């Protein structure tokens, strides 16, 4: 692991920049921009109306002056083509791609949902403590859909590379998950020379191999999704509050300090079998994770009936929910961090202090 790696990282959503121009009211090709609904470091997302087909859509505008030598106009065109050909009911569809002198834009399917980070924030405000985290049934239902998408994309030769709560949208009325923003997606065997000098991904969810700037396969997405499941299970992601480059270094070196513990270590109320399932996806060495999304999905479906039966029978105690934290917030994160080395009161400070730690995988051999 001693090879040097460069930390001129592309950290999506973390760049602090000046306010981007507001294009509300303008018409771009077939669409009229109605309302700004989101903003990142390189562009803005609008609710819009497609005049030719009389339907609401979303439009993502990316400004050329916010691009660098890696995220070029050519790269965005290629990504638009990749996603436009990923036809799946849980992937946000791209309808159109256009260019203007100062920006490029994508016309996309408008989803009436909220990101998982927003969903978790809403849950935490529930007056009943036992309702402040997603149910096991919801997490299993959600994970099944996301793993279906990842299995499909990986078979098509596409790795998402930026799976995180902000890129997973939850539609409450039908409990459907939509996977968004394949903006960092890579097609297997396609090499962008400039990428070798950059780290792609979001630091809290990036896999060790991504943090080293290595070529990745679908197992990198499984690591990132494991981080999402861990956060949904506990209500927070158990990592130390550190600068982004330090997080990258910790991940790149496959340090045992990547996390302060797994789900059952922080909350014994979490079923050990669910904690071990998540832990396998979070193994530092990708060879020790699930072989792919298809295997992880098969294992999930194998565990689901027993977990749901436990929950339905009321055999599970409410998880230990961390008290509100008013300390520093990790830069770029949409949830509060915790001071280095701290965990919820009454819980072990290190994995394994109250019983065996998470499994490294033997319990899940074969599927």
**36: exposed, middle or buried (C-beta count within 10 Å: 0-12, 13-18, 19+)?**
middle
Catalytic residue among 162, 181, 221, 265: 162
Any residues with CB less than 8 A from the CB of 120 and at least 6 apart, and which? 133, 134, 165, 231, 232, 235, 335
Sort residue 317 into left (φ over 0), alpha (ψ -120 to 50) or beta.
beta
**181 flagged as catalytic:** no
Two tokens at 103? Answer: 């920006």
Answer whether 359's CB lies under 8 Å from 280's CB.
Answer: yes
- The DSSP symbol for 228 reads H
Show the DSSP H helices in 176-314 as ranges: 208-211, 218-234, 244-252, 263-266, 272-281, 293-312
Q: How many CA atoms lie within 13 Å of 305's alpha carbon, on the beta-carbon side?
A: 2
- With residues binned 3-state (H G I as helix, E B as strand, rest as coil), the percentages for the chain, rounded to 5, are 35, 15, 50
The set of catalytic residues is: 162
């Amino acid at each position: 692991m001693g090879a040097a790696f460069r930390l001129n990282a592309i950290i999506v959503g973390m760049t602090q920049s000046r306010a981007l121009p507001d294009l509300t009211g303008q018409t771009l090709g077939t669409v009229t921009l109605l309302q700004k609904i989101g903003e990142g470091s390189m562009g803005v997302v609008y609710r819009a109306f497609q005049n030719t087909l009389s339907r609401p859509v979303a439009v993502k505008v990316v400004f050329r002056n916010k691009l660098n030598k890696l995220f070029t106009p050519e790269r965005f065109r290629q990504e638009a083509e990749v996603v436009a050909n990923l036809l799946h009911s849980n992937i946000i569809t791209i309808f159109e791609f256009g260019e203007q002198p100062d920006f490029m834009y994508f016309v996309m399917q408008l989803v009436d949902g909220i990101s998982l980070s927003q969903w978790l924030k809403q849950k935490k405000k529930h007056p009943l403590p036992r309702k402040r985290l997603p149910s096991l049934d919801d997490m299993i239902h959600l994970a099944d859909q996301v793993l279906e998408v990842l299995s499909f994309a990986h078979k098509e030769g596409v790795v998402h590379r930026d799976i995180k709560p902000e890129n997973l949208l939850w539609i409450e009325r039908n409990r459907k998950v939509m996977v968004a923003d394949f903006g960092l997606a890579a097609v297997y065997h396609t090499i962008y020379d400039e990428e070798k000098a950059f780290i792609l991904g979001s630091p809290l969810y990036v896999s060790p191999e991504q943090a080293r700037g290595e070529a990745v396969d679908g197992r990198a997405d499984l690591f990132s999704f494991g981080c999402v499941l861990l956060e949904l299970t506990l209500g927070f992601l158990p990592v130390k509050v550190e600068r982004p480059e330090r997080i990258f270094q910790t991940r790149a070196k496959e340090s045992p300090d990547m996390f302060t513990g797994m789900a059952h270590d922080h909350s014994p109320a979490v079923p050990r079998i669910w904690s071990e399932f998540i832990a396998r996806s979070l193994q530092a060495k990708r060879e020790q994770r699930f072989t792919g999304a298809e295997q992880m999905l098969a294992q999930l479906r194998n565990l689901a009936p027993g977990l749901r039966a436990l929950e339905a029978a009321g055999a599970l105690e409410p998880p230990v929910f961390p008290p509100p934290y008013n300390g520093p917030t990790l830069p770029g994160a949409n949830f509060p961090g915790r001071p280095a080395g701290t965990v919820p009161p009454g819980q072990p400070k290190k994995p394994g202090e109250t019983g065996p730690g998470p499994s490294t995988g033997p319990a899940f051999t074969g599927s």
